[in-house]
Structure 1
Amino acid sequence: MGLFQFIKSKTFLKQLVLAIVGLVLFIFAVMKWLDITTNHDQKIEVPNLEKKSLLSVESILEDLDLKFVVIDSASYNPNYPPKSVIEQSPEAGTFVKEKRKIYLTLNPSNYNDVVIPDLFGRTKRQATSQLLGIGFRVSSTEILVKDIAKDVVRGLKFKGKELKIGDKIPKNSMITLMLGDGEGTGRYKSTTEGSN
């Protein structure tokens, strides 16, 4: 029996039909298996975790069979509780599959500390500009000290304590300028000057 006659035979056609049916069943089985293992139709809505503590986040996500990873701490934001979620990825309302990781950015417990620069001898305007530029607030009330120069910085105070160059205090702190009154006969001697 030649090849051409075999192709025309009933045996070949039966085997061809069986092969096609077997292939269709195999593809169907693979698709079903992929559906089951990838949870194709299962969707979980990501909750809004903003301003929630890590303990609260852990409980919420555990109930939804989701996981979380803390990726970063942002700059301190006083509008959010310390150690609470500021940002999340994926965002709230997004649909994800179970066991998906939610990436969180947390609010630090306080502002970062900033180093006090050397402002001695600067004008009030220069010192105010520099302090605001590095993240401090400047009190509208100044302390005038006896000094030959008027409106020249002769010291800085934070919470009633005189600051030294290099001291570190939290960003956004309120600093009071100690300025010369222009009525002194010499230069004002700071109590901290000896240690500068």
Structure 2
Amino acid sequence: MTKISTRSPFDLLIHIGIILALVGVLFLGFFFVYLPFTTNHGQTITVPDVTKMSLNEVQTFLGDRNLRYEVTTDCTFVAGAEPLTVYAQYPRPNTKVKEGRKVYLTLIKRVPPTVGMPDLINLTYRSAELNLRSAGLVVGERKYVPDVAKNAVLGQFYNGKEIVAGTPVPKGAKIDLEIGDGLGSTIFEVPNVIGKPLDEAVTIIVGSDLKVGTKISVDDPEKEVGTVVRQKPEARPGERIRVGEKIDLWVVGPIEPD
């Protein structure tokens, strides 16, 4: 049997070259043949946009595209949006991924969380709006009423009922506001309540879109207790009053606190 001699330097170089060639072939084969084959190199899919889809639609839609999905635990609530639909996804739409990649979905909650009603009384309308937005609430109807505090919030209402600060309300709820319009734009003659019982005088004043001011107790033995004997401003000819202003009353006898 003939043996290859490696005694000469030339023969040794030939053997080293053969070994290096084999190592190079194995190296290139691993990175450019085996590895791309086992990892589906170059076989990518464009992630579709599944936001606003229901879970049933997502399952079919992603399954047809060789993608999987998983619903995350950080679901959110969006006022006016369809519950149990996709709000956000990762990877984002149009991202290139490999087949079988999992898409993580954030769904919209069915039941909104509750938030504490902020105190808006005496705030300006602009400040009240910012406070509501910060709490996740929105401004509903605005009703302007006669009051010297122009653009100030005088009342806050939810579902037609007055709501106090701190009361839990659903996030995204509409809060109706009662807002002062200043002194009002209507000017008319001062109503005359002299000689009227206090309760009747109050009814006349409030019914005229005015306010009862200070009630002062006086003694007058010739008048019945509870009778109004003086008012300010007086109801004299030419005396005018603006909507929202106050009328002070002098009343015979003790006055019960409001």
TM-score range, shorter chain: 0.5 to 0.7
Q: How well do the aligned residues superpose, as a CA RMSD in angstroms?
A: 3.6
Cα offset for 1:24? 3.3
CA contact under 8 A between 2:79 and 2:171: conserved in structure 1? no
How many percent identity over aligned positions? 29
Counterpart of 1:24 in structure 2 is 24
Kindly provide the CA deviation profile for residues 68-93 of structure 1, in whole angstroms up to 9, marking residues without a partner as x. Answer: 34444355153x42222233233322
CA contact under 8 A between 2:120 and 2:128: conserved in structure 1? no
Kindly provide the CA deviation profile for residues 104-163 of structure 1, in whole angstroms up to 9, marking residues without a partner as x. Answer: 33333365422113345x256477444455332141236x6xxx9877766532112332
Counterpart of 1:161 in structure 2 is 161
Q: Which moved more, 1:29-38 or 1:164-173?
A: 164-173
Cα offset for 1:166? 1.9
Q: How is 1:22-101 mapped onto 2 (pairs within 5 angstroms)?
A: 22-31=22-31, 32-71=33-72, 72-74=74-76, 76=78, 78=80, 80-101=81-102
Counterpart of 2:139 in structure 1 is 137
- Higher percent of residues as helix: 1
Unpaired runs of 5+ residues, structure 1, are 187-196
CA contact under 8 A between 1:131 and 1:138: conserved in structure 2? no
Cα offset for 1:35? 0.9
Q: Secondary structure at the match of 1:96?
A: strand
CA contact under 8 A between 2:90 and 2:104: conserved in structure 1? yes
Shift of the 21–124 alpha-carbon distance from structure 1 to 2, 3 Å rule, reads: closer
Counterpart of 1:193 in structure 2 is none
> Under a length normalisation based on structure 1, what TM-score does the superposition of the two structures give?
0.67
Shift of the 127–33 alpha-carbon distance from structure 1 to 2, 3 Å rule, reads: closer
Please tell me the residue identity of whatever aligns with 2:142. S
Unpaired runs of 5+ residues, structure 2, are 1-5, 181-208, 215-258
Paired with 1:127 and 1:155, the residues of 2 have a C-alpha distance of 14
Cα offset for 1:97? 0.5
Counterpart of 2:211 in structure 1 is 183
Structure 1 or 2, whichever has the larger Rg, is 2
Counterpart of 2:109 in structure 1 is 108
Shift of the 107–8 alpha-carbon distance from structure 1 to 2, 3 Å rule, reads: same
